[in-house]
Structure 1
Amino acid sequence: MKERVIVVSMLSAVVLAGCNSDAVETSKVIHQQHLSAANQFYSASSELNNAMATLCVQGDDKKLETAQQAWTKTMQSWMSFQGREKGSEDALALSWQIQFWPDKKNTTGRKLSQLLKQDTAWSAEDLASQSVAVQGLGAAEWFLYEQPQALSSPEGCQLAMAVTGYINQSGKALVGAWQNNPWQAMTPELALGEYLGALNNQLDYSIKKMQRPMGKPGHPKPYQAESWRSGTSMVNLKASVVAMQGLYLAEGHGLDQLLRDKGYAATADRLTEQFANLVTSWPTEPSMTAMLKSREGYRQLISIFNGLEYIKWTLQDEVAPELGIVVGFNATDGD
């Protein structure tokens, strides 16, 4: 009997070591995903800063279009981080200054208009003491889509270049914040909880991005849609879903594989299929505001909303208990 206990204990230790090894590898892959995404955001923000500078010098429609494309690329690259309330604390601290949303009272437009009236030669450093509403992607969007005429004046160009310069500085800081793996020192169980929490937080945030503008049936609130000025809210939302899909799979080391290793392939198959279906059937209309104006568009939005809700509840009600993860409250709960 004593020998059997020893054998069983040894087998348990081997199994536990294997699980820990998988968790460590998952942590490394997810960290590398974040670091790579941070570098992509920094690169895109550099392109945006350069495009704004070129636009201010040459000022033609073609250069405006190039700057708008650079803004869209930067915004989409930000979706990898949007809503993830887990990970590097330094990175999380940058979130509001990179993106101020929701802007229900047009705070960005009002504050930028006020800054333009001041007799100040604005620089990126000057914006550090200003509201987060004028420091990030929403402020650059205001210049490029709502008030491009402001770029015809030296004052407007100075402020716009200060905004994109500040975004670029934030991008550099984001790369620095992700140099170290924030999950490396955690126990495998805690790191796994943080991983599921990050995905859950981002799902909540994406659902929130739909709930606000959709409002109650028959009473949409289009100006609460993300990026309504550029008409790219659906483009952003798709980028969020793709980012969450990548986080879930984690290059073959994520929740999908962990579920399969535990014998829950059916759960993994359903989640993988749900993510794939959302991406492949995505509406071609880039603007949520436009979709809210038609019955068919609203129906498509409801379908996407239900798909995200399905993933959320599957993660909470099935994945968490199957992997032995205790799910706590999310950052957006009660909002």
Structure 2
Amino acid sequence: MRVHLTLMAVLLVASSPAWAAPDYAGILTAGADGPMIAGYRDFQAKAALLDQGMQTLCASPAPPSLEIARAGFHAAMDSWQKVQWIGYGPVEAFHRGQRVQFWPDKKNAGDRQMLALLKDRNAEALEGNRIAFASVAIQGLPALEMLLFDTNQAAKLVEASDDGTLRCRLAQGITANLGRIGGELVQDWSKPDGFATVLKSAGTGVNPYADHRQAASQMFNALHAQLSAMAEVKLAYPLAVSAGEARPSRAESWRSKRSLRNIAVNLESLRDTFATAFAPALRADGKGAAADRFLAALIDAQGAVTKLPAPMEESMGETDGWARLNGLKAKIKTAAQVLETEVAAALDVQVGFNGLDGD
């Protein structure tokens, strides 16, 4: 009788929610059909509007049309920051991610190469299909940011001169390229055999993933990698060890002074993705507490962003501003810690696991 009761107890525990595997398929479906494809569609749309704004500027070079183009840049960068965490899938093909945003550029390749094009007056290098053969450092948003926001370059952009025309041709080559890449990403995600289908059908047919758990693990690790990049690259790298050592030009979007805005968009995107895809599965599995603690950590970091003096490119050189930014870094690290411990355990996934490497 005692053996029978013990066996019954084991069976009951094994069948309880605490022992049930999370709904990995549901996580993937919610993520792929929700914020992931929606984010890429938004980037495609914003890139098209940016291209239109640049055409307006080049047709009528003047300060008001420059502001229209700059607004288009901000909208496109906002949209890209929402999907920046998705570092795998179609964005890896043809170096699309690096072509949209080559950063961090620790060797300053983008500036050097763009200045060389300007010196050689080589606008053809970024026009039509030729841009695909140009360096990734001058194909995307950072190179465009230089033309639109650098004081000297922007002044020439609004001139009705050969210098202005040269810069317009380069900028239009970049915006057209961004539009093409945006379209390619949406197509490769949403076509019948596209990446959304690959994720949702993991473990069946010819598929790079052995099962849904493996695919969900890669998605989870992409979220974690973004948090790590925010803390270590977007903040620690420019902040250095003190306000006196801070290097504003190392910030992600220092010329447009929107580096803190990038982090704010990142946090909102991660929160939305986790709340949409992962949290429901954890709650259904009786592990909602882990989800709630992670979401609370993200909200805490978001609250810190709203209290920071902007732009961070200026405040990081001041003692109080540096301390606040360093505090934000700590809060983001806390969120990453909750994700890699409590949430990883609840989901039965490993941090740092490459979903394509197998067990």
TM-score, shorter chain, exceeding 0.5: yes
1:183 paired residue number: 199
- Distance between the aligned counterparts of 1:11 and 1:262, measured in 2? 14
SS in 1 for 2:219: helix
1:148 aligns with 2:154: yes
Of 129-138 and 192-201, more deviation after overlay is shown by 192-201
Correspondence 1:50-69 to 2 at 5 A: 50-69=52-71
2:96 paired residue number: 94
Q: Please list the CA deviations of residues 134-173 of structure 1 after superposition, one character each: whole Å capped at 9, or x if unmatched.
A: 1000011111101113323222211111111111111111
Over the matched positions of the two proteins, sequence identity in percent amounts to 27
1:82 partner amino acid: Q
Of 283-292 and 313-322, more deviation after overlay is shown by 283-292
Residue from 262, 282, 291 that aligns with 1:268: 291
SS in 2 for 1:108: helix
2:208 paired residue number: none
Unaligned 5+ segments in structure 2 are: 204-210
Residue from 205, 210, 227 that aligns with 2:253: 227
Tell me the CA shift for residue 330 of structure 1: 7.8
2:32 paired residue number: 31
- Distance between the aligned counterparts of 2:73 and 2:48, measured in 1? 10
1:301 paired residue number: 325
- Distance between the aligned counterparts of 1:174 and 1:10, measured in 2? 46
* Number of matched pairs: 327
SS in 1 for 2:199: coil
Q: Assess, with a 3 A threshold, how the Cα gap between structure 1 residues 248 and 43 changes in structure 2: closer, same or farther.
A: same
Correspondence 1:7-22 to 2 at 5 A: 19=21, 22=23
1:150 partner amino acid: K
Asked if the contact 2:37/2:189 (under 8 Å) is kept, the reply is yes
Of 77-86 and 156-165, more deviation after overlay is shown by 77-86
2:215 partner amino acid: A
Of 44-53 and 155-164, more deviation after overlay is shown by 155-164
Residue from 123, 126, 139 that aligns with 2:127: 123
Correspondence 1:194-209 to 2 at 5 A: 194-207=218-231, 208-209=233-234
Q: Assess, with a 3 A threshold, how the Cα gap between structure 1 residues 119 and 54 changes in structure 2: closer, same or farther.
A: same
1:73 paired residue number: 75
- Distance between the aligned counterparts of 2:285 and 2:236, measured in 1? 35
- Distance between the aligned counterparts of 2:28 and 2:94, measured in 1? 18
SS in 1 for 2:245: coil
2:207 paired residue number: none
Unaligned 5+ segments in structure 1 are: none
Asked if the contact 1:42/1:171 (under 8 Å) is kept, the reply is yes
Q: Please list the CA deviations of residues 236-274 of structure 1 after superposition, one character each: whole Å capped at 9, or x if unmatched.
A: 111011111112111xx42x2333334333333222222
SS in 2 for 1:183: helix
Q: CA RMSD in A?
A: 3.0
Q: Assess, with a 3 A threshold, how the Cα gap between structure 1 residues 232 and 77 changes in structure 2: closer, same or farther.
A: same
Tell me the CA shift for residue 80 of structure 1: 2.1
Q: Assess, with a 3 A threshold, how the Cα gap between structure 1 residues 93 and 103 changes in structure 2: closer, same or farther.
A: closer
Asked if the contact 1:84/1:201 (under 8 Å) is kept, the reply is no
Of 180-189 and 116-125, more deviation after overlay is shown by 116-125
Tell me the CA shift for residue 277 of structure 1: 2.5
Tell me the CA shift for residue 91 of structure 1: 5.7
- Distance between the aligned counterparts of 2:106 and 2:302, measured in 1? 28
Correspondence 1:128-139 to 2 at 5 A: 128-139=132-143
Of 222-231 and 146-155, more deviation after overlay is shown by 146-155
Of 69-78 and 25-34, more deviation after overlay is shown by 25-34
- Distance between the aligned counterparts of 2:239 and 2:265, measured in 1? 19
2:240 paired residue number: 215
Tell me the CA shift for residue 175 of structure 1: 1.0
2:301 partner amino acid: L
Asked if the contact 2:240/2:247 (under 8 Å) is kept, the reply is yes
Q: Please list the CA deviations of residues 192-222 of structure 1 after superposition, one character each: whole Å capped at 9, or x if unmatched.
A: 3122111111111211211110112231121
Asked if the contact 1:232/1:287 (under 8 Å) is kept, the reply is yes
1:248 paired residue number: 274
Asked if the contact 1:75/1:137 (under 8 Å) is kept, the reply is yes
SS in 1 for 2:352: coil
- Distance between the aligned counterparts of 1:14 and 1:268, measured in 2? 19
- Distance between the aligned counterparts of 1:124 and 1:279, measured in 2? 41
Asked if the contact 2:27/2:281 (under 8 Å) is kept, the reply is no
Asked if the contact 1:241/1:279 (under 8 Å) is kept, the reply is yes
SS in 1 for 2:145: helix
Q: Assess, with a 3 A threshold, how the Cα gap between structure 1 residues 175 and 143 changes in structure 2: closer, same or farther.
A: same
Tell me the CA shift for residue 119 of structure 1: 4.8
